[in-house]
Amino acid sequence: MASTVTSQPLKGQVVLRGGNAGASRLYAYRHNRTVYSSTSLPDLLNHMRKHTGGVEVDADAIPFLLHNSLVPPPQTAFKDVWVLGIGDVLAFPADGGQPHWYCDFPYFSANSTERSKPSTKTLLNLLCRSVEDSVNTDATLMMSSGKDSVALALALAESGKAATSHAYTYTDDGQPVDESADAARLAKKLGIAHTTITLPRNPKEVKKALQTYFAGTSYLTCDPTIIPYVMGMHQAGVGAGGTLVDGTRNDIYMGITASPQYVKLCKYYKAIGGGFTNMHALRALVPFHTKAVKFLSTYPEVNLYKHGHLRLPEIRKVYPTGVQPEVYWKTVYNAYRHLNMEDLRGYIIGQYFDGASVMLKAPLVAETFGLSSTMPWAYQPLADYYFNLPREARFNTATQTNKVLLRQLLKEKLGYDASAIGKRIFYFNMHKFVAENMDFIRDEIMACKLWPEKARPGWQKHLDTAKTHPRAAGAVIDAFLVSGWHNHNRYLNP
Would you give the distance in Å from CA 434 to the centre of its chain?
21
Q: What is the pLDDT of residue 78?
A: 97
pLDDT in tens, 408-454: 999 999 999 877 666 656 678 899 999 999 999 999 999 999 999 99
Is 455 a residue whose pLDDT tops 70? Answer: yes
Mean of the per-residue pLDDT values of the chain: 91
Cα distances from 159 to residues 136, 145, 164, 324, 380, in angstroms, run: 11, 20, 11, 49, 19
**311: number of Cβ within 10 Å:** 22
pLDDT in tens, 236-249: 999 889 999 999 87
Cα distances from 285 to residues 239, 288, 338, in angstroms, run: 50, 9, 31
Q: How many residues belong to the chain?
A: 494
Please give the full DSSP string across 385-439, using - where no structure is assigned.
Answer: HHHTS-HHHHEETTTTEE-HHHHHHHHHHH---HHHH--------HHHHHHHTHH
Q: What is the pLDDT of residue 282?
A: 73
pLDDT in tens, 97-138: 999 999 999 999 999 999 999 999 999 999 999 999 999 999
pLDDT in tens, 57-73: 999 999 999 999 999 99
Q: What is the pLDDT of residue 267?
A: 86
In the structure, what pLDDT confidence band is assigned to residue 482 with cuts at 50, 70 and 90?
very high
Rounded to an integer, what distance in angstroms lies between the CA atom of residue 154 and that of residue 304? Answer: 30
Rounded to an integer, what distance in angstroms lies between the CA atom of residue 442 and that of residue 447? Answer: 8
Q: What is the pLDDT of residue 1?
A: 53
Enumerate the CATH 3.40.50.620 domain ranges in the chain, comma separated: 120-253+355-421
Q: What is the pLDDT of residue 32?
A: 92
Q: What is the pLDDT of residue 177?
A: 64
Cα distances from 367 to residues 440, 446, 480, in angstroms, run: 23, 26, 20
Cα radius of gyration rounded to whole Å, the chain: 22
Q: What is the pLDDT of residue 422?
A: 62
Question: Which of 154-168, 191-205, 244-258, 439-453 shows the lowest mean pLDDT across its residues?
Answer: 244-258
Q: What is the pLDDT of residue 280?
A: 65
Q: Which CATH class is domain 120-253+355-421?
A: alpha beta
Q: What is the pLDDT of residue 272?
A: 85
